[in-house]
């Protein structure tokens, strides 16, 4: 059974979930059923709840705040929540996705196996290994899985703590288990595209095509860039065009996805192809693009193909702060992007920024407000909106050693005060939920009992804080301040230090020091 921790309309829009499901469904030796929080495929055995033939239960996790839903889904299937309590007759519970690849430790006690990296490589190897030892006792199956590159079996590793509760290491519990587990990287010529197109999706009837994977810009906070390195681009003729063609028989809505779509080396050729007469009536949308790559031609073709707006990430209106985070973007390029969007016939420009970035001052936030107001004046008639979030440190990025800055909450309010009266739409993300996101992204296994205690109230900030306060009475649990807000020194052992990302911690620390030194 393959589960997604949200409703069907949200889950079926996840390209990663679709690809994993399709990969399993194509195998003759696997009978896969899907499960969402509001519905699912008929279960094995045709009865509600866990059927007698359920061997595997998988979860795709893209967002930290969805993690606790795993426990509800396990309970619904009558699977023991804790991996240590499962026996030979229970399914192997496995998970994957960017959240678990970055730092699986807070949820590790609930998983039997975690797949670190790209599913194109991992899933076939994972299933093959299981099939080879399917009739063996559970403990033997887990040891066999631990030998598969990229498969992390948490029960075969144990954290070791110092006298003051500091994490010293996460180590194998016995000989023969790899000391570290490395994230697996798919380097094939093709990336992913939709395998399910439905009007019931959150983005109705859209065919999604992954144009690039990772991002060459390396903004210091960015999980989508650092965790998924290297930057990969399928060729136009053998990769992208066949992927687009695959969905055009079912829909006339096309979504081009990626962290930096317009930096595909053949993107202008793809755009010209989509400008052809055969695409008349096809609606094309593009995910966030790099502002410096916006051209009048891009604006014109997207407007012609039904797009209303363009999305760019600026992070901050402060030139100084953009340099700190390695955002290679000049102010004049932002103004040019707005001008080209309007000249091309688009009616809106969506910008994304952050508050609470390391070294940020109130003057930097004022600069963001000034930039938006100047853009509004320079491009009258272009609808501007600013989505703004609080910086959350992510594993395997240079800013993983930084904490959430409490002053970010006031700075969100400052932007609202400056921009809303002037007619600029502001879409702020909740500061409080950013704090919980950091708690989940930065913790080790000691958070697992807190997650279990927060069940039934994990949709409220108060519920999380109460569960943590109750658990803080246990000496082993670090303080809330130490996990969420405090900067960490270079010598601190990271909860995910035994899991290898694309770049070693020494290189990430160099990038950190270059930014803030």
Instruction: Give the confidence band of 165 by pLDDT, cuts at 50, 70, 90.
Output: confident
Instruction: Give the confidence band of 462 by pLDDT, cuts at 50, 70, 90.
Output: confident
Q: Specify the pLDDT at position 50.
A: 57
Residue 146 region, left (φ>0) first, then alpha (ψ -120 to 50), else beta?
Answer: alpha
Q: Specify the pLDDT at position 310.
A: 95
Instruction: Give the confidence band of 189 by pLDDT, cuts at 50, 70, 90.
Output: confident
Length of the chain as a residue count: 517
pLDDT per residue as tens digits for the range 494-515: 999 999 999 999 999 999 999 9
- DSSP type of residue 238: I
Decide if pLDDT at 480 tops 60. yes
User: Among 327, 386, 321, 388, which residue's Cα sits nearest to residue 357?
Assistant: 321
Rounded distance between C-alpha atoms, residue 261 and residue 238, angstroms = 17
pLDDT per residue as tens digits for the range 68-101: 899 999 999 999 999 999 999 999 999 999 999 9
Q: Specify the pLDDT at position 49.
A: 53
Q: Specify the pLDDT at position 70.
A: 93
- DSSP type of residue 215: -
For the question of whether the overall pTM of this predicted structure is more than 0.85, the answer is yes
When the pLDDT of each residue in the chain is averaged and rounded to a whole number, the result is: 94
When computed from its CA atoms, the radius of gyration of the chain, rounded to whole angstroms, is 23
Sequence-distant (6+) residues with CB within 8 A of 208 are 15, 193, 194, 255, 257
Q: What is the mean pLDDT of residues 120-140?
A: 95
By the 8 A CB rule, do 99 and 64 touch? yes
Backbone angles phi, psi at 301, to 5 degrees: -70, -40
Percent of the chain with pLDDT over 90: 88
Find the DSSP H helices in 1-68: 8-11, 15-25
Percent of the chain with pLDDT over 70: 98
Q: Around Cβ 132, how many Cβ atoms within 10 Å?
A: 10
Instruction: Give the confidence band of 190 by pLDDT, cuts at 50, 70, 90.
Output: confident
Sequence-distant (6+) residues with CB within 8 A of 220 are 324, 325, 326, 397, 398, 399, 511, 512, 515
Domains and CATH numbers, the chain: 2-182 (no CATH), 207-429 (3.20.20.70)
By the 8 A CB rule, do 369 and 386 touch? no
User: Among 195, 197, 193, which residue's Cα sits nearest to residue 213?
Assistant: 193
Rounded distance between C-alpha atoms, residue 431 and residue 447, angstroms = 20
Instruction: Give the confidence band of 43 by pLDDT, cuts at 50, 70, 90.
Output: confident
pLDDT per residue as tens digits for the range 302-323: 999 999 999 999 999 999 999 9
426-436: buried (b, 16+ CB within 10 Å) or exposed (e) per residue?
Answer: bebbebebbbb
Give, to the nearest 10 degrees, the angle between helix 138-145 and helix 119-132. 140
């Amino acid at each position: 059974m393959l589960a997604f921790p949200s409703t069907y309309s949200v889950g079926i829009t996840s390209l990663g979930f679709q690809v994993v499901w399709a990969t399993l469904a194509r195998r003759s030796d696997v009978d896969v059923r899907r499960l969402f929080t509001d519905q699912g495929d008929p279960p094995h055995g045709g009865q509600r709840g866990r059927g007698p033939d359920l061997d595997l239960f998988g979860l795709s996790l893209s967002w930290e705040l969805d993690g606790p839903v795993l426990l509800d889904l396990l309970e619904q299937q009558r699977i023991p929540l804790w991996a240590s309590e499962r026996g030979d007759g229970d399914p192997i519970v496995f998970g994957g996705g960017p959240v678990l690849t970055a730092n699986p430790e807070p949820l590790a006690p609930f998983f039997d196996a975690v797949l670190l990296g790209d599913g194109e490589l991992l899933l076939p190897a994972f299933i093959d290994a299981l099939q080879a030892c399917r009739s063996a006792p559970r403990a033997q199956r887990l040891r066999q899985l631990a030998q598969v590159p990229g498969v992390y079996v948490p029960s075969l590793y144990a954290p070791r703590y110092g006298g003051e509760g500091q994490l010293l290491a996460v180590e194998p519990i016995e000989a023969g288990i790899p000391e570290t587990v490395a994230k697996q990287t798919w380097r094939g010529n093709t990336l992913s595209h939709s395998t399910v197109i439905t009007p019931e999706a959150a983005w109705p009837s859209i065919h999604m095509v992954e144009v690039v994977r990772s991002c060459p810009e390396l903004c210091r906070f960015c999980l989508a860039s650092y965790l998924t390195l290297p930057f990969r681009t399928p060729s136009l003729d053998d990769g992208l065009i066949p992927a687009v063609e695959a969905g055009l028989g079912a829909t006339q809505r096309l979504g081009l996805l990626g962290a930096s779509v317009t930096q595909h080396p053949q993107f202008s050729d793809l755009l010209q192809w989509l400008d052809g007469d055969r695409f008349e009536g096809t609606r094309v949308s593009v995910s966030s693009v790099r502002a410096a790559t916006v051209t009048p031609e891009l604006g014109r073709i997207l407007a012609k193909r039904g797009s209303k707006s363009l999305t760019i990430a600026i992070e901050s209106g402060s030139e100084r702060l953009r340099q700190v985070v390695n955002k290679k973007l000049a102010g004049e390029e932002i103004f040019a992007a707005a001008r080209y969007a309007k000249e091309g016939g688009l009616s809106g420009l969506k910008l994304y920024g952050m508050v609470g970035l390391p070294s940020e001052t109130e003057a930097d936030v004022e600069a963001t407000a000034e930039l938006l107001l100047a853009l509004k004046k320079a491009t009258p008639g272009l609808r501007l909106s600013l989505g703004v979030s609080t910086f959350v440190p992510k594993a395997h990025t240079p800013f993983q050693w930084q904490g959430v800055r409490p002053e970010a909450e006031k700075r969100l309010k400052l932007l609202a005060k400056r921009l809303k009266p002037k007619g600029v739409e502001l879409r702020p993300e909740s500061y409080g939920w950013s704090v919980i996101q950091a708690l989940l992204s930065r913790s080790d296994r000691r958070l697992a009992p807190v997650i279990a205690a927060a069940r039934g109230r994990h949709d409220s900030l108060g519920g999380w804080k109460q569960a943590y306060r109750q658990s803080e009475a246990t000496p082993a649990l670090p303080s809330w301040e130490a996990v969420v807000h405090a900067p960490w020194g270079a010598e601190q052992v990271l909860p995910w230090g035994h899991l290898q990302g694309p770049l070693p911690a020494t290189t990430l620390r160099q990038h950190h020091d270059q930014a803030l030194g």
